Amino acid sequence: MQRRTLIRTALASSLAAGLPAFAQGPGNWPTGKAITYLVPFPAGGTTDVLARLIGQKLGTVLGTSVIIDNKGGAGGSVGSEIGSRAAPDGFTMVGGTISSHAINVSLYPKLGYDPQKSFAPVTLIGTNPLVLVVNQASPYKTLKDVLEASKTKSGGLSSASAGTGTSQHLSLELLAFKSGVKFTHIPYKGSGPAIQDVIGGQVDMMFDTTVVAGPHVQSGKLRAIAVTSAKRLASMPDVPTVAESGIAGLQDFEVLSWQAIFVPAGTPAPIVERLHTEIRKILATPEMQEKLKGFGMEPADLSTAKIAAFQKAEVEKWAQVIKAAGIKAD
């Protein structure tokens, strides 16, 4: 009886102090306070689309709101740096990508965060190839057309990206490096504005994820030239791979972008585990699996330890590519 009274008194004191209620389950932490899901790119890109899909469902599970906060710039570096400096208390998540959490560390000499040491991995959402697209009115119908046209144009064809160091940029640089053809890279602050300029004809072409480019290809606003995967995509069976072009030097061409979720380093392990568990359940639902595959993504299901190992390998891989191709941040 005395124990129950003490519990009631403690709860009453907490409520009187205005403290948020605690969620039940592994990694209890106060979820009455809103969680910020920081997207280091503008609205409309792959990371943003996934954040909104996951955030809404996660908020319901945790009994709180998940606020999407877009902080674009420098290929995801601006928002990621902000996220790295957030309090490690479970109230900040960061949408990490191949650019922000693997590529940028080799491109920017003064990056304000360490992609591995500044964060703890929560979930690898999935991987997806990119697709090279042009405006529907463009005269280019094949990769050979694109390369031949770029050879004859001063400075080469223009190609948009979500920013320097993004997978869109690295795909272009890798194509240029392997084919020996020059292009003019035009970085934007995100996929949304970049692809709109390709649709509008202000830029010749763009590599982008199937999440962003796919709907525009289906609507007829863009023409898909080639995909960067080793095999053709089920969602775009008529679009050849870059390797299928038959062009010398491109036989082993492959680029896979990826999307993940991180929290600031030092976030308590029980909270990381709770987030990992709940997001994993969300991603495993038939609805989300269908959406991911519809986007051309290959869903992933790795432990946090395996995500960390995967990220480490990606950092090392792209460091080698950037050095070999002599790629530098604009």
Q: Verify that 236 and 140 share a domain, yes or no.
A: yes
Mean local confidence (pLDDT), 231-241: 91
Amino acid identity of 311?
Q
pLDDT score for 31: 72
Mean local confidence (pLDDT), 121-133: 95
Q: Spell out a b/e string for 317-330, using b for 16 or more CB atoms within 10 Å of the CB, else e.
A: ebeebbeeeebebe
Query: In this structure, are residues 261 and 122 in contact, taking their beta carbons and an 8 Å threshold?
Result: yes
Q: Which domain holds residue 167?
A: 127-242
Check whether 211 has a pLDDT greater than 90.
Answer: no
| Any domain includes 106 | yes
Q: Verify that 107 and 180 share a domain, yes or no.
A: no
Question: Could you tell me if residue 278 is left (phi over 0), alpha (psi between -120 and 50 degrees) or otherwise beta?
Answer: alpha
**CATH at 200:** 3.40.190.10
| Any domain includes 264 | yes
Q: How far is CA 226 from CA 18, 189, 229, in A?
A: 56, 24, 9
3-state secondary structure of 37: strand
How many whole angstroms separate alpha carbon 117 and alpha carbon 329? 22
| Any domain includes 159 | yes
| Any domain includes 26 | no
Mean local confidence (pLDDT), 30-51: 90
Mean local confidence (pLDDT), 147-167: 92
Q: Verify that 217 and 279 share a domain, yes or no.
A: no
pLDDT score for 164: 80
pLDDT score for 84: 98
Mean local confidence (pLDDT), 76-90: 96
Give me 202's structure tokens: 């202000």
Q: Verify that 114 and 157 share a domain, yes or no.
A: no
Q: Verify that 116 and 133 share a domain, yes or no.
A: no
| Any domain includes 8 | no
Stronger pLDDT, 212 or 216, i.e. the higher one: 216
Q: Verify that 52 and 119 share a domain, yes or no.
A: yes
| Any domain includes 329 | no
pLDDT score for 330: 58
Q: Verify that 263 and 273 share a domain, yes or no.
A: yes
Torsion of CA 27, 291, 204, 319, to 10 degrees: 40
Q: How far is CA 52 from the centre of its chain?
A: 13
pLDDT score for 17: 37
| Predicted TM-score of the model (pTM) | 0.76
Query: Last residue of some domain: 208, 242, 276?
Result: 242
Give phi and psi for 162, each to the nearest 5.
Answer: -80, 5
**CATH at 77:** 3.40.190.150
Mean local confidence (pLDDT), 233-240: 91
How many whole angstroms separate alpha carbon 79 and alpha carbon 111? 12
Q: Verify that 238 and 269 share a domain, yes or no.
A: no
Check whether 76 has a pLDDT greater than 50.
Answer: yes
Q: How far is CA 199 from CA 72, 136, 219, in A?
A: 21, 8, 11
Q: Verify that 141 and 222 share a domain, yes or no.
A: yes
Check whether 298 has a pLDDT greater than 90.
Answer: no
Q: Verify that 43 and 108 share a domain, yes or no.
A: yes
With cut-offs at 50, 70 and 90, classify the pLDDT of residue 22. very low
Q: Among 11-25, 45-59, 243-257, which is the least confidently predicted range?
A: 11-25
Percent of the chain at pLDDT exceeding 70 = 91
| Any domain includes 5 | no
Q: How many Cβ atoms are within 10 Å of 23's Cβ, its own excluded? A: 18
Mean local confidence (pLDDT), 91-101: 95
Give phi and psi for 222, each to the nearest 5.
Answer: -125, 155
Q: Verify that 237 and 135 share a domain, yes or no.
A: yes
Query: Last residue of some domain: 177, 207, 242?
Result: 242
Give phi and psi for 88, each to the nearest 5.
Answer: -80, 65
| Any domain includes 75 | yes
How many whole angstroms separate alpha carbon 54 and alpha carbon 4? 38
Q: Verify that 282 and 229 share a domain, yes or no.
A: no
Mean local confidence (pLDDT), 288-303: 88
pLDDT score for 27: 46
Mean local confidence (pLDDT), 258-273: 96
Closest CA to 160 of 128, 221, 200, 208: 208
Q: At what angle do helices 167-179 and 304-325 cross, to 10 degrees?
A: 40
The count of structural domains within the chain is 2
pLDDT score for 28: 59
Query: Last residue of some domain: 193, 210, 242?
Result: 242
How many whole angstroms separate alpha carbon 147 and alpha carbon 307? 36
